[in-house]
Amino acid sequence: MSSALLTDHYELTMVDAARHSGRASRRSVFEVFARRLPSGRRYGVVAGTQRLIDEIEKFHFGDEELAFLSDNSVVGEDTLNWLADYRFSGTIRGYREGEIYFPHSPILQVEGTFEEACLVETLVLSVLNHDTAIASAASRMVQSAGGRPLIEMGSRRTSEHAAWAAARAAYLVGFSHTSNLEAGRRFGIPTLGTAAHAFTLLHDSEEEAFRAQIATLGSDTTLLVDTFDVERAVERAISVAGPNLGAVRIDSGDLPVVVRQVREQLDRLGATSTRIVVTNDLDEYTIAALQASPVDAYGVGTSVVTGSGHPAAGLVYKLVSRQDDSGQQVSVSKTSVGKANPGGQKKAVRVIKDGIAQYEQVMTGETLHPDITESRELLVDYMSNGERLEHDTSLSAAREHHLHAIAELPPHAFRLADGEPAIETVIN
């Protein structure tokens, strides 16, 4: 499917009008940034960029799309002809996937003619606002879980095609598995899952259900033990599977209490290696509250796929520079109340001291302050003249990079309580 109509009507009318005024071919730079982090958050995590580049490569107008635009008089004949040949031929730079960002970090720069760069605005923002919101929330959950594995299982709580994108974003920041099969097929993310309450209720008894599951999936499977009575179910699970049962899953109740009881019961029954998986509307806060409990893995649904209260990252796409009549690039910016932003194409570095991030420096000029001895360039090239660049675009590279970037943050970045961004953004 073409991605060309996954966009707003006004992108097309702007192109149409700019072609009329003769300004459409002015070389332009758009930047993606957030004016602020979601309320109280200490850091955000960039995600979705490689997925976006895939979509931009598919962004062309076929007969069906052109017919729609023509039938509905969205644009005129001249623009229709131009759209028929449209291929993005510009340059895209941005923060790596898995990189940390702060207010005004220029996480993506799209450079090209006004018309070609304007046209992809909606798609750029849809992909990045969604995936970045999920990754930012998921990263906090990973930090809360302190090394315990996290399984993304929120497909049912987000739209069917957002689900696999959400699974990717969660995996990118350290979730270990997803329940979503499409995410497995597309991205090679390990998938996982065993049974729901319906499976137990289908059978004439819980014991019959447990036997059926073990006969099919082996004794290393995870049995769901809270359909009727947890204590009796755990006893039954071990009696059916033996002490080498892989795991039990608990999806209800007062988890700190239940988890401890189940652990003690499993140990009494000799099932000392049987793991406990919990899955009941968890988020970064409830995960933190369970860290003192003997939980072996967390399954997270609604809160991760909906960005834990912040389902969109608030990223905007702003024209910061464009050619004038003489061919020079000039900085531009609006001055609306509360929505002003610095014009001009930015550079960005993270200033580091003794391995710890000190601040984010966003510059329209060329040079760092001479006192700065250690800093890390944040912008890398994704596309050049319409060609995708061949650096390591794998998900595993992004996971690695996230580990590296997060290790540079000061300790207060990981406080769950609402606060200010972990480091300041200095714009000059």
Q: What does the block give as tokens for 213?
A: 């599951």
DSSP 58: T
For residues 213 and 312, what is the distance between their CA atoms, to the nearest angstrom? 39
Amino acid at 296: D
Q: How far is the CB of 219 from a copy of itself (least distance, A)?
A: 13
In terms of CB distance, is 68 or 239 closer to a copy of itself?
A: 68
Contact between 379 and 94 (Cβ < 8 Å): yes
Amino acid at 271: A
Place of tokens 């996954």: 6
In terms of CB distance, is 345 or 368 closer to a copy of itself?
A: 345
In terms of CB distance, is 26 or 148 closer to a copy of itself?
A: 26
In terms of CB distance, is 309 or 410 closer to a copy of itself?
A: 309
In terms of CB distance, is 258 or 266 closer to a copy of itself?
A: 258
Contacts of 155 (CB under 8 A, 6+ apart): 163, 164, 166, 167, 179, 180, 305
Q: How far is the CB of 275 from a copy of itself (least distance, A)?
A: 17
CA distances (Å), origin 11, targets 19, 20, 114, 294, 382: 12, 14, 11, 53, 23
Place of tokens 């039990």: 248
Q: How far is the CB of 6 from a copy of itself (least distance, A)?
A: 4
In terms of CB distance, is 339 or 369 closer to a copy of itself?
A: 339
In terms of CB distance, is 156 or 391 closer to a copy of itself?
A: 156
Q: How far is the CB of 333 from a copy of itself (least distance, A)?
A: 7
Q: Is 107 helix (H, G, I), strand (E, B) or coil?
A: coil
In terms of CB distance, is 193 or 342 closer to a copy of itself?
A: 193
List phi, psi (to 5°) of 350: -100, 120
Place of tokens 């309320």: 39
The separation between CA 285 and the C-alpha centre of its own chain, rounded to angstroms, equals 19
Largest CA distance in the chain: 83
DSSP 313: -
Q: How far is the CB of 83 from a copy of itself (least distance, A)?
A: 12
Q: How far is the CB of 381 from a copy of itself (least distance, A)?
A: 23
Q: How far is the CB of 348 from a copy of itself (least distance, A)?
A: 21
List phi, psi (to 5°) of 371: -75, -15
For residues 144 and 414, what is the distance between their CA atoms, to the nearest angstrom? 8
Strand partners for 425: 360
Q: How far is the CB of 218 from a copy of itself (least distance, A)?
A: 11
